[in-house]
Amino acid sequence: MALAILLCASTILSVMIGSRPIPTAEVASVFQNLSTVFTHTDALNVNQRIIVELRIPRTLLGLVAGAALGISGALIQGHTRNPLADTGILGINYGAALAVVISFSLFSVTSAWATSLWAFIGAIIATMAVFGLASVGGGFSTPLTLVLGGAALSAVLSAIISGIILTNDASLDHMRFWTIGSIAGRDLSVFLGVLPFIAVGIIAACATAPQLNLLNLGDDIAAGLGVNTQRARLVGMALIALLAGAATAAAGPITFIGLTVPHIVRAFTGPDYRWIIPFSALSGAIMLLTADIVGRIIARPGELQVGIVLAFVGAPFFMALVYRRRMVSIS
């Protein structure tokens, strides 16, 4: 109930707050006529057009992208048993971002559906690459090697993305805000394009929650209880890539939501993924919308991109987690 109230509040504030002050009555009039405003935009005044064409699509995109990132973070932490895992830190988001940049620059891909497909392929390749780097030398991946492999992969992919963008004048303006993570300037077609991918990913992730609970008991115990552990891991990695890829295609490589949200949720739900996954969806959406609102307020009349705002929150959280694990290992 508390999450539902926070989600409603953040959604309403996201529509109301922006660089242009809009009276509450104008916002209320749009919501009262929500069934017709999208088909009769010519009859709207300037304030109403801003709400319908900019703020509502931005808010909807923030809801689905935040939910996807929150769930992908919960899944990757569950499947790797690594509390430091995050699709951004491990380079999966940057793999999706590189695929999207290549599709924009070399193949002139513009549709949201095709962009999401490219992002999914890039996320899958990055997932395989980071686990390959973590297991180099014939050993098994550990939390430390995963983080190191992900950091190395993120640095390489980020450099390649920057190189492509800086040498391609046509895509520079289009990509400069997208590459740091932003939900600004997206129209309703982007939301509708990624919605099927994210919806399928969320439903499938919730369906795999009982298996994930068994996997966290250990592979031997899970196998003894009838779980095909290898197939379950492959399905989990595919869902992580699908959710992270679709969110990245829509909003750019936003990091730290997948890291922080599952930790916050576990404090209330415990270790049961049947609760962690849906609560991570709600909490991720709230966190992304809240960060976007903060970015609009602190830099008026301009705005700070949501990826930058989340970095200010997520980086200290990550360092605190590392410090805590170090203290536990010493003691």
Question: Please, are residues 331 and 273 in contact by the beta-carbon 8 Å criterion?
Answer: no
Query: Quick one: tokens of 262?
Result: 């599952």
How confident is the model over 276-300, as pLDDT tens digits? 999 999 999 999 999 999 999 988 8
Average of per-residue pLDDT across 29-33: 87
Does the pLDDT at position 116 exceed 80?
Answer: yes
What is the percentage of the chain residues whose pLDDT exceeds 90? 42
- Per-domain residue ranges for the chain? 58-330
Lowest model confidence (mean pLDDT) among 28-32, 134-138, 306-310:
134-138
Provide the pLDDT for residue 182.
Answer: 87
Query: Quick one: tokens of 116?
Result: 């999401």
| Cα–Cα distance list, 316 to 211, 260, 313, 319, 321 (Å) | 32, 10, 6, 5, 9
Nearest-angstrom CA–CA distance, 282 and 323? 28
Provide the pLDDT for residue 331.
Answer: 54
Of the ranges 25-39, 114-128, 141-155, 176-190, the best mean pLDDT one: 114-128
Average pLDDT over the chain, rounded to an integer = 86
Residue 60: which pLDDT band, with cuts at 50, 70 and 90?
very high
Contacts of 156 (CB under 8 A, 6+ apart): none
Provide the pLDDT for residue 228.
Answer: 92
How confident is the model over 78-90, as pLDDT tens digits? 988 888 788 888 8
Provide the pLDDT for residue 36.
Answer: 84
Provide the pLDDT for residue 269.
Answer: 92
How long is the chain? 331
Question: Please, are residues 90 and 130 in contact by the beta-carbon 8 Å criterion?
Answer: yes
Q: Quickly count: other Cβ atoms within 10 Å of residue 324's Cβ.
A: 11
Nearest-angstrom CA–CA distance, 269 and 265? 6
How confident is the model over 202-244, as pLDDT tens digits? 999 999 999 999 998 888 899 998 999 889 988 998 999 999 9
Q: Which has the closest alpha carbon to 187: 257, 244, 117, 111?
A: 111
Note the pTM of the prediction, 2 decimals. 0.89
Nearest-angstrom CA–CA distance, 153 and 236? 21
Question: Please, are residues 120 and 196 in contact by the beta-carbon 8 Å criterion?
Answer: no
User: Does 58-330 carry CATH code 1.10.3470.10?
Assistant: yes
What is the percentage of the chain residues whose pLDDT exceeds 70? 91
Provide the pLDDT for residue 113.
Answer: 85
